Amino acid sequence: MSQIRKAVLAYSGGLDTSVILKWLQDTYHCEVVTFTADLGQGEELDAARPKALKLGIAAGNIYIEDLREEFVRDFVFPMFRANTVYEGEYLLGTSIARPLIAKRMIEIANLTAADAVAHGATGKGNDQVRFELGAYALRPDIRIIAPWREWDLLSREKLLAYAEEHGIPVEMKHRQGGSPYSMDANLLHISYEGRHLEDPAAEAEESMWRWTVSPETAPDAAEYLDLEFECGDLVAINGQRLPAHELLGRLNELGGKHGVGRIDLVENRYVGMKSRGCYETPGGTILLPAHRAIESITLDREVAHLKDDLMPRYASLIYNGYWWSPERLALQKLIDHTQLAVNGWVRVKLYKGNVIVVGRDSATDSLFDSTIATFEDDAGAYDQKDAAGFIKLNALRMRIAARLAARRQ
């Protein structure tokens, strides 16, 4: 333990990481650098600075950084180019944030000559895998400290007792029992796990949801949005071009207003157990069908089908923590190449929890040819007689097999 001189801690300023900060000092007797990332979680992060100072962290060792634009531009949008969904439902809001945090932790470790990184992920979850795979991929010699796998502070009561013993500031909500859920938020989503939700048969309480109204109480009038795409990425809403993180934030507001983006699922964690969670992903729930809609007129059929074949593998790589792996990087190059012609606009209608695509067009890259697809007179653009030979050739193997089966009877 004494071999570690300096550690970079992923620090939120909450109960767990505040206890970890002091525990690192007492257990490893090392210098601690705190890193707090603003990924759009909607919390006041500046409060982390005075807490870290109170616990003896030098001002120069406190990093609080706004990573919202990088998060959406370089992580969320590349993931959505692949139409990524894990196990048919989950839009990977927590998973996609972890590689960015791991990247910046390693950068800060290099900058400050730290020889270790520390995180507050538990030994039961996926995040420990995501943080550590990312850290090792970016710096193979880094030391990892995961307190939840080492200490005996395995309950809220023990954490609170440790905090009180060592003079660690604790918000009143923790003393009073706090939120009944374990939550994680960023610009893509907010997740809820634990307590009431540990019974998969129990319906989530309406009071739990924070970003979205109930579809039953959503506006009675539908709202239309025009979404513009360039090379597969959203660049404008209703004609207004904005930075990537502001676009996603705007979609969150609009989707939340109309009750869009709630899911309740039981997922298969990488560590082996099943886990029930609820998620609000209003912006992503709008973005996914809109992106598929613009692809529907700009992507070649076989390219689109190839992407659909690869997507579950790509989703598992992200969910399991392999963002920085060579296979994910290789897949990303293929996916990004397919997006060069994904340019145009999509019109969606938001109504009581639903996202309905009602129009799409591309002035430069549409493969939709109305002169061929029409049900009216196509003026010879398509010779229907050609279909006979096409069908007969494709039926040849089945005809041969059928004749063989008949002879065997």
CA–CA distance, 376 with 368 (Å, rounded to integer): 16
For 290, the enclosing helix (H) or strand (E) is: helix 282-298
Q: Are 130 and 321 in contact (CB under 8 A)?
A: yes
Is 182 a residue of the active site? yes
* Identified catalytic residue from 182, 316, 325, 366: 182
Report the candidate in 101, 28, 27, 97 with the shortest Cα–Cα distance to residue 63. Answer: 101
**Secondary structure of residue 192 in the 3-state scheme:** strand
Q: Of 81, 95, 127, 360, which is the active-site residue?
A: 127
What the block records as the tokens of 218 is: 């959503």
Measured over the CA atoms of residue 146, residue 151, residue 157 and residue 161, the dihedral's sign is: negative
Determine the Cα angle at 365 with ends 364 and 370, to 5°: 100
Residue 226 bears catalytic tag: no
Among residues 158, 124, 200, which one has the least CA distance to residue 23? 158
Per DSSP, the residues of 125-166 read: SSHHHHHHHHHHHH-TT-EEE-GGGT-S--SHHHHHHHHHHT
The strand pair at 62-66 and 31-38 is best described as parallel
Can you tell me the distance from the alpha carbon of 11 to that of 177, in angstroms, rounded to the nearest whole number?
Answer: 21
Token pair belonging to 22? 């002091």
Backbone dihedral angles phi then psi of residue 216, each to the nearest 5 degrees:
-65, -30
Residue 89 tokens read as 């439902």
Q: Locate 185 and state its tokens.
A: 């938020």
Contact at 8 Å (CB) between 186 and 71?
yes
What is the C-alpha R_g of the chain? Answer: 25
Our answer to whether residue 98 is catalytic in this structure is yes
Amino acid at 231: C
Catalytically annotated residue among 98, 104, 262, 360: 98
Of all helices (H) and strands (E), which one includes residue 370? helix 370-373
Number of neighbouring beta carbons within 10 Å of residue 216 = 9
C-alpha 89/C-alpha 264 separation (Å) is 9
Phi, psi of 270, rounded to the nearest 5 degrees: -65, -30
Q: What positions carry a catalytic annotation?
A: 16, 98, 127, 182
